[in-house]
Amino acid sequence: MSRNKTIVLAFLLTLPVMLFLIHHYVSHSPELKPTGFTTDENVLYMSYAHQYLDQEKFSPFYSNPFDGNPQSPKIYFQPVNAIFVPLLKTGADPGLVFSLFGLLMAFCCVYMGIRIIQHLLPNNKYQSLIALLFTWGGGLTAITGIIVSFITSGELSSSWLDTIYIADPANGWWGLNWGRILFIPLEAYYHFLFLLCIYLILKKRWVGAGLAGFLLAASHPFTGMEYLIILWEWIAIEKSFYKNKSIPWWFIVVSGIVITLDIYYYLSYLPSFPEHNQLFNQYSVAWTYSFRVFIPAYVIVALISYATLKVKKSISRFLEFPHQRLFLTWAVVSFLLSKHEWFMKPMQPIHFTRGYVWAGLFLLSIPGLLWLIEYFKKTALRKWVFAGFLIIFLSDNTLWITNILKSKSKIESEGYLTKETREVFDYLKKSTTRNDLLIGNDRLVSYMANVYSSANAWVSHPYNTPNREDRITIMNNYLQSGNRPPEWVSRRLIIVINKQVTSVPVLPSLLATKLFENSHYVLFTP
């Protein structure tokens, strides 16, 4: 397949993500305007980037924007901000920047997946089919959800498509198969880097693999550590049991330095700051998934991997190539990380899924998949059976995307704002500095203020706000008593009141000076 054909194929396979983004901008109630933030967590990353616009002195590091304190230590680093910040400085819309970046990364991720398949199957006529299945294949989570719903209720209701989420955590947004993560911009970026690392290793381009691995490790703690553990386990197997001389020792040393720096940064440097420890404790939660989820999610690729073993007839032939051993290591390590609550205190185990377990098994199963294709194409009946298999294999993502695209947003959220809320952000953008502190009863303004203005919020993101529950108590006590906490000394307070929300009582003396008002909001400063 020529490079131009590869690009065209990657473009075609990225079309569902394009449709998803178009749907976000066109399918909503007329009183709402899309922000470009297609999931609520996307707001986080542009909040991080906005910190650079407010820095008095440039630093490659940024502080936690949800700490509420402009003096919070600058200890975090995200390389992708080198792209976001210059665009934000031009006045570009943050949500649009983020969404277009995600679309580009989705294309790059798909393209890199195709290149890996081309490397594994040079001149094979089924490259495009394998690329389709790798990008949009899945498991039986959707079908399992539908069957469970039918068994328990005895009928399929008008909202039967919503039952596909029964065996798919967070309505499918955790991304148990590879294609699902393409809808999450930063995940598409991390996965592109991951595939780039794998591709460069397969091509034995060790310098590029070292640089890409460092960039990945610097970009995300979960994905970076997952890749480095996979890499080191594979290298240990190759050097200890297979005496693989193609892996240069300098690459092993460089990889060792990268993983050492990664461990030091995340497990030593960051924990030395109390502010980070508070967040770490909040993030160390038992977000896991059971066999009722991972069996339907991985059953198809697991069975095809087993078929590959049967086709090869022995484990030695099954693992005769370094890349097969790499894919097996990838699948096993990713699965164990996603279930690390079996061995230690859980720290978001499900965060290690993100399609990695599924993708490792899929690439491992390619020889068996090719055998199945050849077997089923021999008679007309077998071809029909194979067509049914393809429909089932693609059903998870087909049904999920269909359900997403048929929806229409009717309520305000991070993805869609009313005119009144946008007016608040316009006011904050023009009238606030990094020393201003937002308090009040509106969750949305407090969460998104860091994206659209320099103001900070005392209570914001549920996991990135240190001691969030204690802060809510402190804030409510001030609003009712007027007793200013010592943390707020020298800060201008802006009380944001959403008239549509039930509010805690506010001491009348705190509402002396009105700053802004429209039909939904009123802003005061004491």
Interval 108-119: pLDDT, tens: 999 999 999 999
pLDDT computed for residue 426 by the predictor? 96
- Measured in whole angstroms, the distance separating CA 436 from the mean position of its chain's CA atoms is 31
Q: Which of 377, 405, 433 is the last residue of a domain?
A: 405
Q: How confident is residue 58, by pLDDT bands cut at 50, 70 and 90?
A: confident
Same structural domain for residues 358 and 485?
Answer: no
Same structural domain for residues 286 and 394?
Answer: yes
Output the six-digit token pair for 193.
């880097």
Specify the DSSP element, H or E, that contains 84. helix 81-89
Output the six-digit token pair for 250.
């300098």
User: Does a structural domain hold residue 40?
Assistant: no
Instruction: Compute the average pLDDT of residues 211-220.
Output: 96
User: Does a structural domain hold residue 161?
Assistant: yes
Which residue, chain included where needed, has tokens 């001030």? Answer: 478
Same structural domain for residues 295 and 221?
Answer: yes
Q: Which of 405, 433, 452 is the last residue of a domain?
A: 405
Q: Do 137 and 177 form a contact (C-beta atoms < 8 A)?
A: yes
C-alpha distance across the termini of the chain, in Å: 68
Distance between CA 510 and CA 525 in Å, rounded? 7
Output the six-digit token pair for 499.
């008239």
pLDDT computed for residue 154 by the predictor? 65
pLDDT computed for residue 361 by the predictor? 97
pLDDT tens digit sequence for 72-103? 899 999 999 999 999 999 999 999 999 999 99
Same structural domain for residues 275 and 366?
Answer: yes
399 forms bridges with which residues in the sheet? Answer: none
Tell me whether residue 2 is exposed, middle or buried, using C-beta atoms within 10 angstroms of its C-beta: 0 to 12, 13 to 18, 19 or more. Answer: exposed
CA dihedral (470, 473, 474, 475) positive or negative: positive
Which residue, chain included where needed, has tokens 């719903």? Answer: 149
pLDDT computed for residue 156 by the predictor? 61
User: Does a structural domain hold residue 295?
Assistant: yes
| 285 has a pLDDT exceeding 80 | no
CA dihedral (85, 87, 93, 95) positive or negative: negative
Q: Enumerate long-range contacts of 410-413, CB under 8 Å, 24 or more apart.
A: 410/28, 410/29, 410/32, 412/32, 412/444, 413/40, 413/444
Print the domain residue range for 424. 416-525
User: Does a structural domain hold residue 58?
Assistant: no
CA dihedral 499, 500, 505, 507 (to 10 degrees): -10
| 158 has a pLDDT exceeding 70 | no
User: Does a structural domain hold residue 2?
Assistant: no
Same structural domain for residues 355 and 474?
Answer: no
Output the six-digit token pair for 299.
């059953």
User: Does a structural domain hold residue 293?
Assistant: yes
Same structural domain for residues 400 and 507?
Answer: no
Same structural domain for residues 385 and 509?
Answer: no
pLDDT computed for residue 520 by the predictor? 93
Instruction: Compute the average pLDDT of residues 270-279.
Output: 87
> What is the residue type of 416?
Y
Distance between CA 124 and CA 175 in Å, rounded? 29
Same structural domain for residues 401 and 433?
Answer: no
Which residue, chain included where needed, has tokens 């002195």? Answer: 57
pLDDT computed for residue 364 by the predictor? 97
Same structural domain for residues 279 and 354?
Answer: yes
pLDDT computed for residue 298 by the predictor? 97
Q: What DSSP line would sit under 306-364, residue for residue?
A: HHHHHHH-SHHHHT-SHHHHHHHHHHHHHHHHHTGGGTS--S-GGGGTTTHHHHHHHHH
Q: Do 476 and 502 form a contact (C-beta atoms < 8 A)?
A: no
Contacts of 494 (CB under 8 A, 6+ apart): 428, 432, 436, 437, 438, 439, 440, 455, 515, 523, 524, 525
pLDDT tens digit sequence for 340-354? 889 888 888 888 899
pLDDT computed for residue 281 by the predictor? 78
Helices and strands: H and E segment counts in the chain: 22, 7
Contacts of 216 (CB under 8 A, 6+ apart): 190, 193, 194, 197, 223, 224, 227
Output the six-digit token pair for 130.
């394998």
pLDDT computed for residue 17 by the predictor? 98
Same structural domain for residues 210 and 175?
Answer: yes
Please tell me the pTM assigned to this model: 0.95
Q: Which of 360, 376, 405 is the last residue of a domain?
A: 405
CA atoms within 13 A on the CB side of 432: 32
User: Does a structural domain hold residue 518?
Assistant: yes
Specify the DSSP element, H or E, that contains 34. strand 32-34
Mean of all residue pLDDT scores within the chain = 93
* Number of domain units in the chain: 2
Distance between CA 487 and CA 437 in Å, rounded? 11
513 forms bridges with which residues in the sheet? Answer: 525
User: Does a structural domain hold residue 22?
Assistant: no
Contacts of 220 (CB under 8 A, 6+ apart): 186, 190
Same structural domain for residues 154 and 267?
Answer: yes
Helix, strand, coil in percent for the chain, rounding step 5: 65, 5, 30
Instruction: Compute the average pLDDT of residues 51-66.
Output: 89
Same structural domain for residues 401 and 420?
Answer: no
